Each structure stands twice: as structure tokens, then as C-alpha cells.
């Protein structure tokens, strides 16, 4: 095992102490917990990527049809209905110009962050956008296909995704971690069942969470429930 002093220097005492607290100050177990958290986070990358790429491309397709232009974001700039999006659209254009990249729909769509897309499902835009956006979720039962249900799940995925991408703990409760993964796959299923099956085929999340849950339990780490 790496020297604990080096761990504190490289990970920061605050970050490592949160793991120590869950391992009764056993530094070896805390390091194993840290590794487990990182490995399980890594195992979510493929499904998160599949979700995020599909979501933005699905939205882009329906908005292109609805606004009759692939540059629907320019239409938004011309109206106060979408004022909350204006600064991000302008910022994205400026970023592309600074890179000397073309400011076209392909580049813009790839550059918009996940929060930009999910904001479209806020209640504020229900009358403006829900009609075209609801068609994205063809496999969602009609009785459940409501904006608030979709927004709730998408925001849960976004919050989880942000913790993963910013290297924050995601495994204080392994059942919650599993539920977060299930939210990702549920949203992908709403898009397309074949796409979900293809995603799962290359995702090793279930294997990793079972492996590391078992390992931590064998080490006697508390607050880890076997799945």
C-alpha cells in the first residue's frame, strides 16, 4: 500500500478523511474504499456517454424538425421565450470562433453541456418544448410520459454524472449507486431498446459493483450492503 502521508499530500486530507471516517480510521481499508469508488465510477462512463450523446442527438433531431432549421438555437436567440439559453448559445459560438472552428450545428450541438439540454425539460418550457420533446421517449409508457417524470429522472442522471466526472464519492450507499445506474439505463430504454441492449453489452458496471462490494465486506468495512 502507498504511504498514508503521500496519500494525504496527493489526494488532500479532506478527501481522504471522508473515507477514513467510513473505515474507522483504518487507512488500508480507506484506500481500498477509495479505489472501489473510482473503479465503479469508471464503470459508469460508457453508459453515461451513451445516455448523453443519445439525448442531445435526439433533442437536436426533433427541434430541427419542429423549428424547421438545424440552427434552431439561432431562432431562440431572436425571442425572449428562451432568454435563459442566450448566454450559453453566445458563449459557445465565441468558444468555437476562438478555436477557429466552424460555427455550425454539428459543432454547436457537440459543445453544449448536459445541463443545457436538460434545462429544456424545466416546467418553464413545458408549453414551448414538451410537445416535440416528448416524442423522444417512445418506449416510455404513455401513462407515465409526462414532463415532470422525465425531468426528474434526467436531473438525477445529471447530478450523478457530475459527481462521477468531478471525482466525487458515489459509493457511500451502494444501493443508491445501483439506483443511479438504473436511472441511466431506464432513460436509454426510453430512447431505444436496441440501443440499451448494445450499451449494456459493453458496460461492466454490474460486475464491478458486485466485485468491490464483496471485497469491502470481506475487509469488514461498515455501511456496505451486499447487492
| 7-11, 109-113, 156-160, 163-167: least confident range | 7-11
3-state percent helix, strand, coil for the chain, nearest multiple of 5 = 75, 0, 25
* pLDDT at residue 195 tops 80: yes
Q: How far apart are CA 219 and CA 205, in angstroms?
A: 21
C-alpha 212/C-alpha 222 separation (Å) is: 13
What average pLDDT does the segment 131-152 reach?
A: 96
Residue 11 cell numbers, joined = 489526494
pLDDT digits (tens, 9 = 90+) for 170-194: 999 999 999 999 999 999 999 999 9
CA distance 213 to 227: 7
At residue 141, the pLDDT reads: 93
Whether 98 has a pLDDT exceeding 60, the answer reads yes
End-to-end CA distance of the chain: 27
The per-residue pLDDT for 227 is 52
- Report pLDDT for 221: 82
Model pTM score? 0.93
Residue scoring higher pLDDT (181 or 224): 181
What does residue 134 show for φ and ψ, rounded to 5 degrees? -65, -25
CB-based contact 227:29 (threshold 8 Å)? no
Amino acid at each position: 500500500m502507498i504511504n498514508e502521508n503521500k496519500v494525504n499530500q496527493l489526494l488532500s486530507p479532506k478527501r481522504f478523511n471522508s473515507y477514513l471516517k467510513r473505515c474507522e480510521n483504518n487507512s488500508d481499508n480507506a484506500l481500498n474504499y477509495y479505489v472501489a469508488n473510482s473503479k465503479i465510477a469508471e464503470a459508469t462512463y460508457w453508459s453515461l456517454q451513451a445516455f448523453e450523446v443519445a439525448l442531445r442527438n435526439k433533442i437536436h433531431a426533433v427541434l430541427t424538425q419542429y423549428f424547421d432549421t438545424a440552427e434552431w438555437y439561432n431562432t431562440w436567440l431572436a425571442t425572449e421565450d428562451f432568454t435563459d439559453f442566450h448566454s450559453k448559445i453566445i458563449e459557445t459560438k465565441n468558444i468555437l470562433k476562438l478555436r477557429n472552428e466552424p460555427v455550425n450545428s454539428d459543432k454547436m450541438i457537440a459543445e453544449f453541456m448536459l445541463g443545457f439540454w436538460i434545462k429544456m425539460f424545466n416546467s418553464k418550457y413545458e408549453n414551448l418544448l414538451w410537445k416535440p420533446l416528448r416524442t423522444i421517449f417512445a418506449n416510455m409508457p404513455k401513462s407515465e410520459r409526462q414532463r415532470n417524470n422525465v425531468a426528474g429522472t434526467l436531473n438525477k442522471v445529471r447530478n450523478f454524472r457530475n459527481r462521477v466526472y468531478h471525482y466525487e464519492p458515489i459509493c457511500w450507499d451502494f444501493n443508491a449507486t445501483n439506483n443511479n445506474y438504473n436511472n441511466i439505463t431506464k432513460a436509454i430504454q426510453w430512447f431505444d431498446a436496441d440501443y440499451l441492449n448494445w450499451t449494456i453489452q459493453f458496460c461492466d458496471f454490474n460486475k464491478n459493483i458486485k466485485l468491490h462490494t464483496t471485497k469491502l465486506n470481506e475487509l469488514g468495512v461498515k455501511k456496505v450492503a451486499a447487492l
